[in-house]
Amino acid sequence: MVTGLRNRLMQLYQIGQTRDAERLLGKLLKKRCLSEDDILRLLSFYRQPDMKERRPLFLERLVSGARSTPALMRTLSEECLQAREYGLALSAIEYLLHASSDEVVLNYAASLVVTIPSLAVPSRKKLLKVLEVLAARREGDLALCAYHIRVKRECCDWRGLDKLINLCSKMVDKCARSPAGDIIHPSLLMYAGLPQKFFRRLTDIYACKLRSEAESSSGYVQDSVMSVTDRKLRIGYISANFYNHAVGVLCFRMFGVHDRNRFEVHVYSLRCSPGPYQNTIARESDVFRDVSSRTDQEIVQQIRDDKIDILVDMSGYADSGRSMILASRPAPVQISYLGYLNTMGPGIVDYIIADPVVIPESHATMYSERVIRLPQFMVVSELSASTESCDRATYGLPVGVFVFGSFNAPYKIDARVMSSWMLILKKVPCSILWLYSGGDKFVESNLLREAGAHGIHGNRIVFADKVVMEQNLARIAQVDLMLDTFLFSGGATTVSAMLAGVPVLTLRGKTYLQRMSSSMNMCLGLGELDCADVDEYVEKAVMLANTPEKMNDCREKVAVGVHKRFNIRKFVASLELAYTKAWHSYLSGAAFPDITVENDELVDYTHGVGMVSDKGTTE
């Protein structure tokens, strides 16, 4: 009888009676009478394009109801990852860990779990439990350890984090001394909080491996010196972040401001995400190409066919980046900017764009690239706040208290900064802290637990959900003083606060990622908000909260500074001068030097955003 039902199931699928087949499938799964061969045949059926919408429910049934061996569950976990059903993939991996303690299975489970985009998992609490099980069985797995640290940071769960970081540091040091075997992707190590010298050593090794792979590919071409004499300099921008992402929001007006008498602007978008930001970029560039569905080698060839002179990457080793394109050297000069803000290792890009604050000359050895130092590294596109009427009550904020805020992503918060914030709240009793959580209840519960451990009642912490940029600017204006994070300072969040007229108190760190807010404070003439240590940070926060006239002075400076200094025309002019200097260095055939653009080299640009009148080419 069971054999007859199984045959009937396959017949129903073959003749297109899918709903009847799925009803029968449910019964057979419940009775656990489908063989592995049956399930593999069904997987093949659900891979068809017209079954895409029904595939998630089918996978959910299989993961929860199939009588599975580890081998079959491995197949199911891969299917779930390909379908971007990350919660189901995690359930399949969890099954593997319960079903087998075999070393091969553990290796496989660990290699799969680190590929899951943690922010896309429905239950990160469950993800942490899986990671804890794996960590107990695989203490020497660097990729797993680094991923575990990342997830803990994203969840603001710092229990046991120091132990993981120490373990990760030892493994990194060992790997750097004896670089044998697989080298993990640098994006995993960005969250570990390692000293920059360790990070550089690892990225140097990774870059060497990447270049070797690129050079061995059939499409690799060793570039020869070329000269542009009869046309404009062609600048190519490539990123997966040209949409409603921090990078896209900051730069979307930049492309239309370029001097079209001297430069031709090509944009290569690694993500198709139509909307106001991507649409503006497409309209204001000379050539916009959606290359999201193309292979790395196809994109490399397209860039070469377009005869791009300078390629500016705005993703780097971040999750969305495709660094093999850069390793293949599709352009004579390659530059890293904004999307990654760290070293990529030798031979991947030639320059990193910075300024004297984020990469002072004394820090140059932390980066394999030559440094382009602009007067100010941050591009700021013109943004507008919502015109809807709102006040503190609109956002659930109490009236008559001093509002400290931090709208940085939760992963930027750590135990050290949380401790300083709680101390500030203790010293300013009539105050609250408004934190961005994105509506993540697990994050909120972890932060409230930490606040309680410091003796701060949960009613003094208010959480902010996700909103569109216009509404975000409007609500930020309700904050009195923004408190920056330490390990990763604010970038787009600091810009948003300043555009809303809110001062940002920051601690100047040792790396690019720890000095972004410091750079912007110096740009706006607010060096007094740039602190040297935690004690000064706490003291200044308390002083400002208790001294309204000082607070008002800071707000006035922010307003004046934003109007004078956040000038996108002048910023693009500094970029163009840097590009020109880099190109001339390339043509000379000499080694690339550091490049500095001084304010007095730039003409007097008026404030405002330029537009391109003619619509460019879009693919």
Which is more confidently placed, 409 or 80? 409
Give the containing element (helix H, strand E) for 450: helix 441-453
Question: Which range is least confidently modeled, 368-377, 494-503, 526-535, 610-619?
Answer: 610-619
Q: Which CATH architecture has domain 2-175?
A: Alpha Horseshoe (1.25)
Q: What is the pLDDT of residues 141-196, one digit of tens each?
A: 999 999 999 999 999 999 999 999 999 988 888 887 776 656 788 988 888 888 88
360's tokens: 């002072």
CA 218 to each of CA 124, 282, 327: distance values in angstroms, whole numbers, following the listed order: 41, 31, 13
The yes-or-no verdict on residue 65 having pLDDT over 80 is no
Q: What is the pLDDT of residues 342-390, one digit of tens each?
A: 999 999 999 999 999 999 999 999 999 999 999 999 999 988 877 777 8
135's tokens: 């960590």
For the chain, the structural domain boundaries read 2-175, 233-380+574-588, 398-565
- The SS3 of residue 263 is strand
The yes-or-no verdict on residue 429 having pLDDT over 80 is yes
If pLDDT is split at 50, 70 and 90, which confidence band does 60 have? confident
Percent share of the chain, pLDDT over 70 = 94
300's tokens: 């490399």
**Assigned CATH for 398-565:** 3.40.50.2000
Distance from C-alpha of 69 to C-alpha of 64, rounded to nearest angstrom:
13
Q: What is the DSSP letter of 341?
A: -
If pLDDT is split at 50, 70 and 90, which confidence band does 67 have? low
How many distinct helices (H) and strands (E) make up the chain?
A: 24, 15
376's tokens: 């100010």
If pLDDT is split at 50, 70 and 90, which confidence band does 229 have? low
| Radius of gyration for the alpha carbons in the chain, expressed in angstroms and rounded | 26
Give the per-residue pLDDT at 615.
42
* DSSP secondary structure string for all residues of 174-188: HHHHS--S----HHH
Fold of 233-380+574-588: Rossmann fold (3.40.50)
469's tokens: 């940029």
The yes-or-no verdict on residue 606 having pLDDT over 50 is no
What is the mean predicted confidence (pLDDT) over 505-519?
A: 97
If pLDDT is split at 50, 70 and 90, which confidence band does 607 have? very low
Distance from C-alpha of 61 to C-alpha of 28, rounded to nearest angstrom:
11
Q: What is the DSSP letter of 234?
A: E
The yes-or-no verdict on residue 224 having pLDDT over 70 is no
CA 442 to each of CA 448, 531, 590: distance values in angstroms, whole numbers, following the listed order: 10, 31, 54
Q: What is the maximum alpha-carbon separation in the chain?
A: 88
The yes-or-no verdict on residue 66 having pLDDT over 90 is no
Query: Which of 246, 243, 244 has the alpha carbon at shortest distance from 516?
Result: 246
What is the mean predicted confidence (pLDDT) over 494-517?
A: 96
Strand ranges (E), 337-377 = 351-354, 370-373
Which is more confidently placed, 337 or 64? 337
The yes-or-no verdict on residue 295 having pLDDT over 70 is yes
385's tokens: 């706040």
Domains 233-380+574-588 and 398-565 in one fold: yes
Distance from C-alpha of 484 to C-alpha of 545, rounded to nearest angstrom:
15
Taking a C-beta distance cutoff of 8 angstroms, is the pair 318, 247 a contact? Answer: no
